[in-house]
Amino acid sequence: MNARGAQLDSSGRLRHFLTLEGLKRQHLEEILDTAESLRNVAERRVKILPTLRGTTVVNLFFEPSTRTRTTFELAARRLSADVMNLDMRASSATKGETLLDTLHNIEAMQVDMFVVRHSVSGAAEFVAAHVAPHIAVLNAGDGRHAHPTQGMLDVFTIRRHKGHFPDLRVAIVGDILHSRVARSQIHALNILQTGEVRVVAPRTLLPTAVESLGVQVYHRLEEGLKDVDVVITLRLQRERMAGALLPSEQEYYRLYGLTEERLKLAAADAIVMHPGPINRGVEMDSRVADGERSVILEQVTNGIAVRMAIMTLTMGNRAAARRIEV
Amino acid sequence: MTRLLIRGGHLLDAANSVDSIGDLALADGKILAVGEIPEGFQADEVIEADGKLVIPGLIDLCARLREPGHEHKATIASETRAAAMAGITTLVVPPDTDPVVDETSVGNLIRRRAEAAGFARVLTLGALTQGLVGEQLAEMATLKDSGCVGVSNGGRPIADTRVLYQALAYAASQDLTVFLEPVEPWLDRGCAHDGPVAARLGLAGIPVAAETAGLARLLSLVEDIGARLHICRLSSARGVEMVRAAHQRGLPVTADVAIHYLHLCEMDLGRFDSACHVLPPLRGLRDRDGLRMAVADGTISAICSDHQPHDRDAKERPFAETAPGISGVDTLLGLTLKLTDEGVLELGEALARVTSGPAQVLALEQGRLVTGAPGDVCVVDPEAEWEVEEQTLRSQGKNTAFSGWGLKGLVAAVVVKGNVVKIT
């Protein structure tokens, strides 16, 4: 990846937001602190800040998404940006135009920020390496690789409930192999020096060298949940059965489904999280999803503040960098 | 025919115990004398090789020239020229052109165009199965009679083991060497080694078992049939072990490795560097070291470039969507010499892996400095340094994974069929 595609500028500040890997604790804490102050805005009656007035944010979604796209859009609007939503599935991508051609055409429309979601790992970094230098790129999920804003909103949610990361045990349960969310969560938790990060899944849903990511591996949910402070369950895609990765949803639920009974193995005040959308009765019992330990809806709310923070910081750093050049 | 004298160079062909300072005379397209030049030899042309290495021209067991079918990536003329300038005098091309070499006309066309270009020699492998689809046998004997030197399925694994069995048996009965990549097709669905880097980048992994399972299948068949098998592009230390064991059992198998697997590993993917997208994937450091040991002890007798030139567009995409392959002819010699600098093997042995080693795989007369051998010679300044840069590669494919590397070894002159190759 060339210097243009790097997410940090020469002073170590964010100019894109592509992956959490390689970021420092200060970067994450700055985002979390900024999000904390912005969250208060969301609770005011007038929810708009002038921060990004006059800038244009383009949501470039090559893959379907409702929640992520909507929260990015809300975040941008609350910062007074103009927002353009481009559903790339329906347009040029299917007409044989290369990703590069598509990008150059859109950047010619005088835009300032791309929010990119793509089904291929590395797509966001590819975009960052090839767009005009004045454009900031935020990764809204690329293949199995990263979903860094989701990772940030998850640690934001954990921090609000649990505080000090080194004292925490966190279990991530489910399809780690195909999950960009899990990879970003693992990076975020490790950068914040979380006491213990566990992954719980059968071998077929774990990357071969998963322990190299800095996690403890459990194949049995009962063991993985023991004494944890946070349980994150991941969505299970139906197509995993066809790929011979799992026998059935029923067996998955029997072994890895989060029930009230199993949740008792975790710490008494453990919280339950899920990046959504939930398959009720597959990865989680409805009673847990809707129960008092669940912070799933709060994650969605927090997503807006966290994305506002990341937009504010990347655009602010660029403005600061320009001032220094002048 | 030119009578050529290469004077005062370091003649080196370890396989034939040639290792001395001396002269080399060529006449009638062949090597006339090595070391002692017959009295009265009148050269039409003299190359002064003082301080230079004089070695057999390199033989590259796998180079894709992209013609016919993909001339926007490269042509026979562009790639044979690039190869010759890099010291490679013989290129073996797999049959996966478009159309494929499953009928004589395609092989004839490739060889005729190479002849017309007049740079390096081009040898063609014929198709093992029709259309390389892996269902029906290709007309191997006819392909052989028309000039194909072996058969291969062009990197496309044959899923049906019975077809593979018959193909090997038929090829054996026609005295043809079969070139096959050891790949278990069902495990071969990914774009990176199934290790820590793939886990981190979220790339679909190809396990080492894709190679070892494929290799086990091939070796079992060879043990039954006795076919002459050349195993192409080993990528793992465990694969190497299996080939070593096969040699100990006396199976008629040879093996090669592409030069990039001896210098790179999965870590070189960095942040999705598509230049390092190759198949089989670059594996771990231990695999690289296992391959190096196998090259040193002769388990792997040939190093090839696995040359796959691409146009810019093919590599300018997100990693998994890019075309696999490295443009390799420009760097084959320099990277082979680098193995010597890094203490992997002696100079003579290193060069044997790109000359006499590959020659033996195909029982070619080239690749040696002996009287009567074909007049394919390369004169190299072994200490001259150069830096690999995409834009100065002679290949039309600029997709190198070694951009910025400093290499030693500049080709001073190349002789093919007794004639100095004039680069225009």
Task: Kindly report, residue by residue over B152-178, the tens digit of the pLDDT.
Answer: 999 999 999 999 999 999 999 999 999
Closest among B234, B381, B215, B384 to B304, alpha carbons compared: B234
> Is pLDDT of A92 > 60?
no
Q: Which residues contact B257 (CB under 8 A, 6 or more apart)?
A: B233, B234, B235, B291, B294, B295, B300, B302, B303, B304
The domain total for chain B is 2
d(CA A15, CA A128): 10
Q: Does B336 lie in the same domain as B253?
A: yes
pLDDT of residue A314: 95
Range of the domain at B313: 57-361
State which residue of chain B sits closest to A126, comparing Cα positions. Answer: B318
Residue B366 lies in a domain: no
User: What one-letter code names the amino acid at B5?
Assistant: L
pLDDT of residue B23: 97
Q: Which token pair is B117?
A: 């270009």
Residue B119 lies in a domain: yes
Q: Does B135 lie in the same domain as B219?
A: yes
Q: Which residues pair with A17 in a beta bridge?
A: A138
- Choose the final residue of a domain: B317, B333, B361: B361
Q: Does B393 lie in the same domain as B344?
A: no
> Is pLDDT of A221 > 80?
yes
> Is pLDDT of B1 > 80?
no
- Yes or no, beta carbons of B318 and A144 under 8 Å apart: no
Answer for the pair A15, A288: CB distance below 8 angstroms, yes or no. Answer: no
The torsion of the CA quartet B32, B38, B43, B48, rounded to 10 degrees, works out to: 90
Q: Does B33 lie in the same domain as B61?
A: no
CA distance B321 to chain A (A): 8
State which residue of chain B sits closest to A210, comparing Cα positions. Answer: B199
Residue A108's pLDDT band (boundaries 50, 70, 90)? confident
d(CA B111, CA B106): 9
Q: Does A210 touch chain B (CB under 8 A)?
A: yes
- Yes or no, beta carbons of B199 and A213 under 8 Å apart: yes
Q: What is the CATH number of the domain that holds B399?
A: 2.30.40.10
Q: Which of B202, B205, B313 sits opposite A208 (nearest CB)?
A: B205
> Is pLDDT of A3 > 70?
no
The torsion of the CA quartet B365, B370, B375, B379, rounded to 10 degrees, works out to: 120
What percent of chain B has pLDDT above 70?
100
What is the CA angle B115-B120-B125, rounded to 5?
75
Q: Does B240 lie in the same domain as B94?
A: yes
Residue A101's pLDDT band (boundaries 50, 70, 90)? confident
Q: Does A120 touch chain B (CB under 8 A)?
A: yes
Q: Does B280 lie in the same domain as B136?
A: yes
Residue B13 lies in a domain: yes
pLDDT of residue B103: 95
| Catalytic residue selected from B60, B102, B287, B306 | B306
Q: Does B357 lie in the same domain as B300?
A: yes
List CB contacts (< 8 A) between B316 and chain A: 98, 100, 130
- Write the CA distances from B319 to A122, A136, B203, integer angstroms: 6, 21, 9
List CB contacts (< 8 A) between A5 and chain B: 271
User: What one-letter code names the amino acid at A80?
Assistant: S
Q: Does A142 touch chain B (CB under 8 A)?
A: yes
Residue B177 lies in a domain: yes
Residue B407 lies in a domain: yes
pLDDT of residue A308: 96
**B306 given a catalytic annotation:** yes
pLDDT tens per residue, range B281-298: 999 999 999 999 999 999
Per the prediction, chain A carries an average pLDDT of 92
Q: Does B208 lie in the same domain as B69?
A: yes
- Yes or no, beta carbons of B200 and A21 under 8 Å apart: yes
The pairing of strands B192-193 and B88-93 is unpaired
> Is pLDDT of B274 > 80?
yes
Instruction: Look up tokens 């039954």; give the residue.
Output: B224
Q: Does A123 touch chain B (CB under 8 A)?
A: yes
List CB contacts (< 8 A) between A207 and chain B: 194, 198-199, 205
Residue B318 lies in a domain: yes
pLDDT tens per residue, range A9-45: 988 999 999 999 999 999 999 999 999 999 887 677 7
Q: Which of the residues B319, B322, B390, B403 would you substitute to probe the A interface, choosing the one with the greatest number of A C-beta atoms within 10 Å?
A: B319
Check if the interface score ipTM surpasses 0.95: no
The kind and range of the H/E element at B360 are helix B356-361
Residue B48 lies in a domain: yes
d(CA B308, CA B57): 21
- Yes or no, beta carbons of B271 and A122 under 8 Å apart: yes
| C-alpha Rg value of chain B to the nearest Å | 21
Give the predicted TM-score (pTM) of the model: 0.94
The DSSP symbol for B132 reads: G
Residue A323's pLDDT band (boundaries 50, 70, 90)? confident
Residue B424's pLDDT band (boundaries 50, 70, 90)? low
Q: Which of A99, A142, A213 sits opposite B200 (nearest CB)?
A: A213
Q: Does A97 touch chain B (CB under 8 A)?
A: no
Per the prediction, chain B carries an average pLDDT of 97
Q: What is the CATH number of the domain that holds B224?
A: 3.20.20.140
Q: Which of A99, A183, A208 sits opposite B202 (nearest CB)?
A: A183
- Yes or no, beta carbons of A122 and B316 under 8 Å apart: no
Q: Which residues contact A277 (CB under 8 A, 6 or more apart)?
A: A67, A235
Answer for the pair A28, A152: CB distance below 8 angstroms, yes or no. Answer: yes
pLDDT of residue A90: 65
For chain A, what is the total number of helices (H) and then of strands (E)? 12, 9
- Yes or no, beta carbons of A99 and B195 under 8 Å apart: no
pLDDT of residue A93: 54
Q: Does B100 lie in the same domain as B11?
A: no
pLDDT tens per residue, range A255-293: 999 999 999 999 999 999 999 899 999 999 999 999 999
Answer for the pair B364, B29: CB distance below 8 angstroms, yes or no. Answer: no
Structural domains of chain A ordered from first start: 3-146+301-319 (3.40.50.1370), 148-295 (3.40.50.1370)
Q: Does B293 lie in the same domain as B275?
A: yes
Q: Does A144 touch chain B (CB under 8 A)?
A: yes
- Region B362-389 average pLDDT: 97
Q: Which token pair is B150?
A: 């072996």
Q: Which token pair is B169?
A: 């048996």
> Is pLDDT of A154 > 60?
yes
Q: Does B244 lie in the same domain as B166?
A: yes
On the CB side of B131, how many CA atoms lie within 13 Å of its CA? 4
> Is pLDDT of B397 > 90?
yes
Q: Does B332 lie in the same domain as B392?
A: no
List CB contacts (< 8 A) between A120 and chain B: 318-321
Residue B70 lies in a domain: yes
pLDDT of residue A1: 43
Closest among B195, B211, B202, B192 to B284, alpha carbons compared: B195
Three-class secondary structure of residue A71 per DSSP:
helix
- Choose the final residue of a domain: B339, B361, B383: B361
